[in-house]
Structure 1
Amino acid sequence: MCSGDREVLCVKRNLLLEALANELPSGTIRFSSKVVSVDESGYFKLVHLADGTILKAKVLVGCDGLNSVVTKWLGFKQPAFTGRSAIGGRADFKRPHGFDPIFMRFFGNGVRSGVIPCDDKTVYTWVPSSQGIIYNTK
């Protein structure tokens, strides 16, 4: 989908994860597992989970959130609050939604938001925010 001179793509996260997971051997990915520490053992990483499990990994990809144990182990700096946040969501319709395939942005009264159709039955929407915004309630 194009918006002016830019191309906008909508990726359904679950489909991306499925596509990536399908290319790896079964049991390679662990979801919903709390990482408590990471150690090195030669060419391997020993990943210690909260349930006591220790995983031996050649490659470690961490998607463990804001206070990431993996990020700390890699030596990255502590995350810093930038004063910005956003709420986003996906709506799946049983029938075609009827939106044109365009990137829609809305501005007014100190609020901005956006909507982008992903396909004929899925729409992604978001509302970004900045700390200190005063909303007009009149």
Structure 2
Amino acid sequence: MKTQGSAVWQGGLKDGRGAISTKSGALSAYPYGFAARFEGKPGTNPEELIGAAHAGCFTMALSLILGEAGLTAERMETTAEVTLDKQPDGFAITAVHLTLKAKIPGADQAKFEELTGKAKAGCPVSKVLNAKITLDATLES
């Protein structure tokens, strides 16, 4: 499987503007730029998109792993907090912290921790990131 995303940029770093699009159309010329990335202004940024992708990937991977264990989630909600740090050679994504709240009938805490750990390590987005990935997972009753 192959898919794609694209970006267009006009202007300099601080005064320029960009637009990000996805093949699916989920994003279509959605604005991004320096102010959205570094100054908290409206728009998106690559780190936010990586966070959404990681949260989605991890949650889908966990759904697969749960199914293989004979379990089905009633509900799972994952957020991914992405840390962008200034390094001597530029900026780098140094960490992603996943937070999961899940309601999984029939799951006990030990099995839940085992399966969430497998999903964290095994999801394709986790595998591509050169960052410390941590997880807080809460099994709700």
Q: TM-score range by the shorter chain?
A: under 0.3
Kindly name which structure, 1 or 2, has the bigger radius of gyration based on alpha carbons.
1
Structure number with higher helix proportion: 2
Compute the TM-score of the two structures, normalised by the length of structure 2. Answer: 0.22
